[in-house]
Copies of this chain bind each other. A is one copy, B any other.
């Protein structure tokens, strides 16, 4: 058989839905059919393709695991051409495993079980999975394909180093579901470039795309050649079938055993007197496949480009990276759209106060869905400024979303009067403020009950951190778009979005410049209660995302009294966050599965 020049790989960056075994299988079959038509010989899908990611405690249901395995068995016969690598959850006597199945010639030809199980941040994989120990290299014609899954690739000295040892593999394929946070793309890319050079083989990385409750998966699947050059980069935040023609490494026609010569090759495999093909508990496994079964992979040249133009991204296309604000904005769009659509809501509804948070939420919602599916409700009280009221109406008009105004004066007065036996004799305090916020929450829920729309909470990370928000009031909602976006970042995104349209942006200038206020009592401003957001936000980031101690912050120049107060506010408001709506994760540490704090917590850091 002549040495083939190329392997055409399809990076099937699809948007799966957790639990939707038939739906996910249909997505796989559709992408597979398109990829084969476009001449691909190897089609790679993301981690846990068939179950969606992360399935969480669905994995504790024996029936779910059986159904996942059954979905794989129903899929296999469809794979009549080329190779498919697809993720699924596999039941076994020892416990569930996170699997990547190799399908070819109508059957399951091998299964790799993820060895490196992340159990930090949003991840709970050791709760669910038994780790694998066998690390396969599939040998097919001139190709030696090492398969691994997500976290495996981030612990380079584990599975990848074993698979790459002595140049036994000439291609490494990783099925991934890597949750997005801002600027994670370049971080990943550096990792793969270093790895490609270190192991002298091209890593092929296929990442999930889509929103699943809090995490968003950003796609941006990647292929890097053995010299560290990026051969292909799929788009962020969009489904994509990206093709790459991968040349066989030159030496000896295969590149195999090549890395062994440079002195680096053998050492990594040897571990303490054991076989040189093990690393700790891991064991290398070479799986020969009959090349006759998969002639596509071993053919001399790749097929012609699909004349239908199906491969819209082109071949070996390197999608440019997004700018900082566009990237985060796109993550918020995808996270919201997927939560709404995967849960089949007809639209969204939220309070439009005339403030910056609800304004940005409105713009994102209109961009993510369609203006007709978005309902903004203004609920003015005696303390609502006319500028806020005008701002809300103007924004709704600019966006073309549905808009209602329901004043809450009368019902507020009624409640205060009926509560007089309790409230009489005391000065008004946060009690009265919260009643306003809770009446608004109640009205939004009434809209939701009648229309079926999802209520959006509009709070940002700064207020959620310090509890500057009303539980069951402005915190009401099934989903929270800006939950992980700091207030200072909210302004940046709003200005960026305004700049994307010609002429005046959708968000009125007054909304961008008026000092932030909850407008729950006369002349109230956020700055009555909180330090400037330019001071608050870096303190919250340091305490929450970086787990720095108040002592360190004071040493680095922040005012002790401010830092201590913020620390106490964050800790004292855990109970609110416990009952908060889920929201889109865009930072390395969001309030959600990322951060698991006790409610009962008397910790006070020691002072120096």
Q: Are B414 and A602 in contact (CB under 8 A)?
A: no
Most chain B CB neighbours (cut-off 10 Å) among A434, A581, A595, A602: A602
User: Which residues does chain B contribute within 8 Å of A447, judged by CB atoms?
Assistant: 422
Cα-based distance from A342 to B600 in the complex (angstroms): 7
Q: Are A445 and B471 in contact (CB under 8 A)?
A: yes
User: Taking CB as reference atom, which chain B residue is nearest A70?
Assistant: B606
Question: Which of B213, B418, B449 meets A429, CB within 8 Å?
Answer: B449
Q: Are A446 and B418 in contact (CB under 8 A)?
A: no
Q: Are A19 and B603 in contact (CB under 8 A)?
A: yes
Question: Which of B21, B124, B414 meets A410, CB within 8 Å?
Answer: B414
Q: Are A343 and B600 in contact (CB under 8 A)?
A: yes
Most chain B CB neighbours (cut-off 10 Å) among A406, A441, A596: A596
Per the CB 8 Å criterion, the residue count for chain A at the interface is 85
Question: Which of B20, B56, B441, B471 meets A596, CB within 8 Å?
Answer: B56
Cα-based distance from A575 to B410 in the complex (angstroms): 32
Most chain B CB neighbours (cut-off 10 Å) among A407, A408, A446: A446
Q: Are B406 and A67 in contact (CB under 8 A)?
A: no
Q: Given A18-B602, A55-B598, A410-B414, are A419 and B438 also a contact pair (CB < 8 Å)?
A: no
Q: Are B578 and A472 in contact (CB under 8 A)?
A: no
Cα-based distance from A580 to B439 in the complex (angstroms): 19
Q: Are B62 and A602 in contact (CB under 8 A)?
A: no
Question: Which of B21, B441, B450 meets A603, CB within 8 Å?
Answer: B21
User: Taking CB as reference atom, which chain B residue is nearest A21?
Assistant: B603
- Check A599 for interface membership: any CB of B closer than 8 A: yes
| Binary per-residue interface labels of chain A (64-77) against chain B in the complex, 1 for a CB within 8 Å, 0 otherwise | 10010010000000
User: Which residues does chain B contribute within 8 Å of A55, judged by CB atoms?
Assistant: 598
- Check A271 for interface membership: any CB of B closer than 8 A: no
Q: Given A21-B603, A602-B20, are A445 and B434 also a contact pair (CB < 8 Å)?
A: yes
| Binary per-residue interface labels of chain A (1-43) against chain B in the complex, 1 for a CB within 8 Å, 0 otherwise | 0000000000000000111110100000000000000000000
User: Which residues does chain B contribute within 8 Å of A411, judged by CB atoms?
Assistant: 411, 414-415, 418
- Check A514 for interface membership: any CB of B closer than 8 A: no
Question: Which of B124, B434, B595, B602 meets A449, CB within 8 Å?
Answer: B434
Most chain B CB neighbours (cut-off 10 Å) among A18, A67, A442, A476: A442
Cα-based distance from A476 to B575 in the complex (angstroms): 12
User: Which residues does chain B contribute within 8 Å of A70, judged by CB atoms?
Assistant: 606
Q: Given A410-B414, A410-B418, A411-B418, are A600 and B56 also a contact pair (CB < 8 Å)?
A: no
- Check A605 for interface membership: any CB of B closer than 8 A: yes
- Check A516 for interface membership: any CB of B closer than 8 A: no
Shortest distance in angstroms between A305's beta carbon and chain B's nearest beta carbon?
A: 35
User: Which residues does chain B contribute within 8 Å of A449, judged by CB atoms?
Assistant: 429-431, 434
User: Which residues does chain B contribute within 8 Å of A319, judged by CB atoms?
Assistant: none
Q: Are A603 and B442 in contact (CB under 8 A)?
A: no
Q: Identify which of residues 405-452 in chain A touch chain B, using a CB-to-CB cut-off of 8 Å.
A: 406-408, 410-411, 414-415, 418-419, 421-423, 426, 429-431, 434-435, 438-439, 441-443, 445-447, 449-450
Which A residues have a C-beta under 8 Å from some C-beta of B? 17-21, 23, 54-58, 60-64, 67, 70, 119-120, 124, 126-127, 212-213, 338-339, 342-343, 404, 406-408, 410-411, 414-415, 418-419, 421-423, 426, 429-431, 434-435, 438-439, 441-443, 445-447, 449-450, 471-472, 476, 478, 547, 549, 551-552, 575, 578-582, 593, 595-606
Contacts A18-B601, A58-B597, A426-B450 given; 20 further ones with Cβ under 8 A? Answer: A19-B604, A54-B598, A57-B597, A58-B598, A62-B547, A63-B606, A119-B119, A212-B598, A213-B600, A406-B421, A407-B418, A411-B415, A419-B446, A422-B446, A423-B446, A430-B449, A434-B445, A438-B438, A579-B580, A579-B581
The 8 A-B pairs with the shortest beta carbon distances in the complex, nearest first, are: A19-B603, A63-B549, A20-B602, A431-B449, A438-B442, A414-B414, A19-B601, A472-B472
Question: Can you list 19 pairs linking A and B with CB atoms under 8 Å apart?
Answer: A17-B602, A19-B603, A23-B602, A56-B596, A57-B595, A61-B549, A64-B605, A67-B606, A212-B598, A406-B418, A406-B419, A410-B418, A414-B414, A422-B450, A434-B445, A578-B582, A579-B581, A582-B599, A593-B596
